[in-house]
Structure 1
Amino acid sequence: MTDTGRAIDLSVEVIGDVETVWRAVATGPGISSWYVPHTVEERAGGAGVASFGPEPEMQIAGRVAVWEPPHRIVFDGGEGVGGLTFEWTVEPNDANTCTVRLHNAGFADGDPQYDAMVDGWKLFMANLQLHLEHFAGQTATSALPMVMWPVTPEEGWEILAGGLGIDKMPDVGDRFDVAADDDTKLGGTVIETGPRRISLLADTPAPGTAFLTSEDGGGFTMVSVWLYLYGPDGAAIAERDDAGWRAWLADHAPQSD
């Protein structure tokens, strides 16, 4: 396949043998556990759908352009369809680890979404590491509430952190507990902090991972409270808490002048 335009190249080292890591990056249940909900027909030419939200327009259809298990898969928009391509490779290392590489190509020069995509992929690939370290072989159900506010990312983070009453930059290892309402709670251990981001290894409302972020969306700011929940009650809790966090974000939207 021939690249066109600008590309993103990222890699992470993850825990797991090549077959386990392959399932995480090339199957619907695997990808859904650390990115967004996916369905994947596991064959060359198979259909794939990524769900970025409940609305019909947020269901993004694509194709498995290359299927070379357990080392390489490429997703694109379909035969003769332009746009972005996503190539994932899995390289086994020693000591039960693998290197996962992403080559995301097809950006036009000056694409305003490029920098936001780089930041987004870094977060998701960090979540892939957490998935394989703590929950390998399990499947998460995600709740992905996100709003787009006409403020700067710094202002978005002020609103999010201030509304929840939290430190804007807690220490790694700190206990973290917040609530959107009496039933919608989030708690766990801070495992990473960065500019306008807190990452958690969650134990409330279920075992999993969680991310609070305020990111530049190229002309607007994307503010998110994202959960990936495991266990027998994970799916039901994710559905419940998705609604709770969406309502909280809507209630805290900045007022226009």
Structure 2
Amino acid sequence: MPIKTDGQERRSIALEFELPGTPDQVWRAIATGPGISSWFVPSEVEERQGGAVAFHLGPGLESTGEVTAFEPPRCFAYVEPGWSETAPPLGTEFVIEARAGGTCVVRLVHSLFTTQSDWDDELGSMETGWPPFFEVLKLYLTHFAGQPGTSIRPTGQHAGSDAEAWALLTGKLNLADAALGQRRAAPAETAPPLAGTVERISEGGNHRELTLRLDQPAPGLAMVGAYSWGGITRAAVSLYFYGDDALAVAARQEPVWDDWMAEHFKTPPAAGKTG
């Protein structure tokens, strides 16, 4: 979808997703800290207009902002002033509309108030960045709605292309040539515990991913992916655990996965440096 401009000198993109659940259920998932943490990244939300929001995107990576609309169960919006160095503040708005049959349509709009196209690539990349997380949200609402959840996101780098990183990652995890509906289990001798049913596969451009509904090491979801961003090829495994033991499972699994990533996806040396 192309980036839109309007008479207010605003540049924006809009996406729509259909999700299972009532407006209240969807609202709790997209407008509260525990809800967002169950399908996106660890997050905090002060549930009021003018409240603070914080998204913990990875080690040393955090984006903060302010709630600009909090109208349950329909509209949640916030602005992130420092989302990308010198870029103007990024506005985000979620609007929930009920549909027949127990589903809701969520409309997501990202906006930059600027006439400059300097950040169009980053704004446009959000179109491909959000859908995998909304697939996780859809599975969460379908199979784990209301359960407490937490996540870990072990990440590494690869010196080659995203296709090469994907081949290595899926090979080690026994996910190469996986098909929808299959149950796959990672070999114990080459990977941490990971087993479940393939729910989604997406390959295109410089981004490849697969989503599993986990039965091992605990009930949850795993989004396995390889992608290129800013000239760097990365491999990532986003693991979401649900239920009363979710925090304990995450605490046990995080160091195991971090060590595994460090072994197989080490940060490549800088150009011109060796050793």
The alignment's TM-score, normalised by the length of structure 2, stands at 0.83
In structure 2, the residue matched to 1:198 is 210
Q: Could you tell me which amino acid in structure 2 is paired with residue 76 of structure 1?
A: V
The yes-or-no answer on 1:100 pairing with 2:90 is no
User: What are structure 1's unaligned runs of at least 5 residues?
Assistant: none
Cα pair distance change 1:237/1:15, threshold 3 Å? same
Secondary structure, aligned partner of 2:73? coil
C-alpha root-mean-square deviation of aligned residues, in Å? 2.5
Which of 234, 245, 266 aligns to 1:233? It is: 245
Distance in 2 (alpha carbons) for counterparts of 1:184 and 1:3: 51
CA contact (8 A) 2:27 2:74 kept: yes
In structure 1, the residue matched to 2:34 is 29
Q: Could you tell me which amino acid in structure 1 is paired with residue 163 of structure 2?
A: E
The yes-or-no answer on 1:172 pairing with 2:180 is yes
Distance in 2 (alpha carbons) for counterparts of 1:247 and 1:64: 37
CA offsets per residue over residues 91-143 of structure 1, 9 Å max, x none? Answer: 00112110111112229625343454322201111111111111111121101
Cα pair distance change 1:54/1:8, threshold 3 Å? same
The yes-or-no answer on 1:159 pairing with 2:164 is no
Q: Which of the two has higher C-alpha Rg?
A: 2
Q: What displacement does 1:167 show?
A: 4.2
Write the mapping of 1:55-134 to structure 2, written as runs, cut at 5 A: 55=60, 58-77=61-80, 82-106=88-112, 109=117, 111=119, 112-134=121-143
CA contact (8 A) 1:169 1:198 kept: no
Distance in 1 (alpha carbons) for counterparts of 2:10 and 2:159: 29
Cα pair distance change 1:180/1:234, threshold 3 Å? farther
Length, aligned pairs only: 252
Cα pair distance change 1:244/1:73, threshold 3 Å? same
Distance in 1 (alpha carbons) for counterparts of 2:18 and 2:157: 32
Secondary structure, aligned partner of 1:213? strand
Distance in 2 (alpha carbons) for counterparts of 1:24 and 1:250: 32
Distance in 2 (alpha carbons) for counterparts of 1:169 and 1:83: 41
Cα pair distance change 1:183/1:249, threshold 3 Å? closer
In structure 2, the residue matched to 1:149 is 158
Q: What displacement does 1:214 show?
A: 0.6
Worse-superposed segment, 145-154 or 103-112: 103-112
CA contact (8 A) 1:16 1:97 kept: yes
User: What are structure 2's unaligned runs of at least 5 residues?
Assistant: 1-6, 82-86
Task: State percent identity of aligned pairs.
Answer: 37
Deviating 4+ runs (over 4 angstroms): 2-5, 179-183, 254-257
Q: Could you tell me which amino acid in structure 2 is paired with residue 99 of structure 1?
A: V
Cα pair distance change 1:198/1:183, threshold 3 Å? closer
Secondary structure, aligned partner of 1:113? helix
